[in-house]
Amino acid sequence: MTPEEVMTRYEQYINPAATKLFRFMGLASVEGRGEGWTVTDTEGQSFIDCLGGYGMFALGHRHPKVVEAVERQLHAMPMSGKVLFNEPMALLAEKLAAITPGDLQYSFFCNSGTEAVEGCLKMARLATGRQEIIATDNAFHGKTFGSLTATGRDLYRTPFQPLVPGFRHVPFSDLAALEAAVTDQTAAVIVEPIQGEGGIIVPPDGYLKQVEELCHAKGALLIADEVQTGMGRTGRWFGCDHDGARPDLMAVSKALGGGVMPIGAFVGTAQAWAGFVEAPFIHTSTFGGGEMACAAGVATLQVIEEEGLLDKAARDGAYFKAGLEKIAAEFPRVIRTVRGRGMMMGLELTKEGAGGMLMALMIAQHVLVAYTLNNPKVIRIEPPLILPVAVIDQVLALLHDAVRQVDEVIDDL
Ligand code: PLP
């Protein structure tokens, strides 16, 4: 099929408006083959992937060790029949207990980030017998009903009212507001260690630890949504680790499948799991915990360790960010600020129109970037953690040129 034929089918059978938007951004290519940090389209053009599937491709595309683990499992037992025990799931749960902070011990496997969040919300109510959930403004936790209710953006929420009762929002990074909101009926506070879709918002040092202390003082649980920040993205295993925070429940997904399999998990302490231990079939999933997905997870965690990707993300992320800051200093009319940690970075632009133009210019230069879902003024840069420094330099040079072009027309945008 030609790209045009694929896009016509998108228009007819998927979504005409989304197709038009993609075309407008210059995204008229069809994915052909992914390898390392590049995606080659069906016409043979290669793109440097600096978006990484919204943070999913931490190991790049088709990491050979993950592909090998998945292939092995494909020809043995790809999906779980749910009656007999499942070795890859047992191994992945053990490994998650070892790398997650504090006393997180038990895991339940699902297929996506939103399901992982739903599980955390349910466990929090079950464990505490309380109903209230406090989330933060501008948060992004997913788009199924519970996670959507926790998501802090009305654009996504309003059309689907009424949402789940018992949720409240407070400003992110505002401990006093949280203190005023948490009551003796609060089951949990849910936060992202760095707000991703909200615009790569890094809270002040110590915030997560203080949220943990506040929760525990009031008998509430802390849910860390590490769907985007987890698996080394920020230069540590988890975003919480920068603060030494110890959540009671954690949602993970995205990079856990190594960019090869969809997988999510929620992980909890023994205390958070107590109700689930009493009633183990109170929460189930047909596909969740399949052998192929869990084998991908085990291989992913091994690769992160063997290739030293936590240190690499911290070191090369700092280098990348310094390069972005230099460009921002040169073009303050275009870039308001640069934020981020490790390989999770965002450029906040001065105008929304500048975001669309910059994205289109970068794509024309064969670099894939996109803006954040809750904040179109922020261009996110979340490349594979394996991205070589020479490619970072190449991206910085292309970005410099693109920002210069936006600067020339910024008054008209
Ligand atoms: N939580 C966070 C922090 C996310 O960034 C996302 C997706 O971007 C989700 C949850 C939802 O994940 P999914 O799209 O896999 O449902």
Q: In this predicted model, what pLDDT tens digit does every residue of 372-385 receive, in sequence order?
A: 878 889 999 999 99
User: Ligand 1 pocket check: which of 109, 120, 141, 223 to mutate, most ligand atoms within 8 Å of Cβ?
Assistant: 141
Q: What pLDDT is recorded for position 21?
A: 86
Separation of CA 228 and ligand 1 centre (Å):
7
User: Ligand 1 pocket check: which of 144, 148, 227 to mutate, most ligand atoms within 8 Å of Cβ?
Assistant: 227
CB 73, CB 66: distance < 8 Å: no
Separation of CA 314 and ligand 1 centre (Å):
22
pLDDT tier at 23 (50, 70, 90 boundaries)? confident
Which of 230, 247, 244, 233 shows the shortest CA–CA distance to 341?
A: 233
The reported pTM is: 0.97
Hey, is 222 helix, strand or coil?
strand
Ligand 1, residues at Cβ distance < 6 Å: 54, 112-114, 117, 140-142, 192, 196-197, 225, 227-228, 253
Q: What pLDDT is recorded for position 35?
A: 97
Looking from the CA of residue 117, the nearest atom of ligand 1 is 10
User: Ligand 1 pocket check: which of 109, 202, 253, 382 to mutate, most ligand atoms within 8 Å of Cβ?
Assistant: 253
| Portion of the chain with pLDDT greater than 90, in percent | 93
| Amino acid (1-letter code) at residue 165 | P
Phi and psi for 406 in degrees, rounded to 5?
Answer: -65, -40
Estimate to the nearest angstrom the gap between the alpha carbon of 256 and the chain centroid.
10
What are the residue ranges of helices labelled H in 288-351?
291-306, 309-330
Q: Which residue owns the Cα nearest ligand 1 atom 7? A: 142
The stretch 323-349 carries a mean pLDDT of 97
Predicted confidence (pLDDT) at residue 238 exceeds the cutoff of 90: yes
Separation of CA 75 and ligand 1 centre (Å):
30
The stretch 347-372 carries a mean pLDDT of 92
Alpha carbons 379 and 359: distance in angstroms, whole number:
8
Predicted confidence (pLDDT) at residue 289 exceeds the cutoff of 80: yes
Q: Which residues are CB-neighbours of 323 under 8 A, at least 6 positions away? A: 392, 393, 396
pLDDT, tens only, 135-167: 999 999 999 999 999 999 999 999 999 999 999
Separation of CA 156 and ligand 1 centre (Å):
14
pLDDT tier at 26 (50, 70, 90 boundaries)? confident
Q: What pLDDT is recorded for position 314?
A: 98
Separation of CA 200 and ligand 1 centre (Å):
14
Q: What pLDDT is recorded for position 164?
A: 98
Sheet holding 46-49, edge to edge: 31-35, 38-41, 46-49, 367-368
Which of 17, 36, 117, 47 shows the shortest CA–CA distance to 366?
A: 47
The stretch 194-221 carries a mean pLDDT of 97
What is the Cβ-side half-sphere exposure of residue 94, based on CA atoms within 13 angstroms?
Answer: 9
Mean pLDDT over the full length of the chain: 96
Separation of CA 71 and ligand 1 centre (Å):
26
pLDDT, tens only, 250-274: 999 999 999 999 999 999 999 999 9
Separation of CA 105 and ligand 1 centre (Å):
22
Looking from the CA of residue 254, the nearest atom of ligand 1 is 15
19-28, 304-313, 364-373: least confident range: 19-28
CB 233, CB 385: distance < 8 Å: yes
Tell whether omega for the bond before 78 is within 30 degrees of 0, i.e. cis: no
Separation of CA 114 and ligand 1 centre (Å):
6
Q: What pLDDT is recorded for position 24?
A: 80
What is the Cβ-side half-sphere exposure of residue 15, based on CA atoms within 13 angstroms?
Answer: 6
Q: Give the containing element (helix H, strand E) for 214.
A: helix 207-217
CB 120, CB 107: distance < 8 Å: no
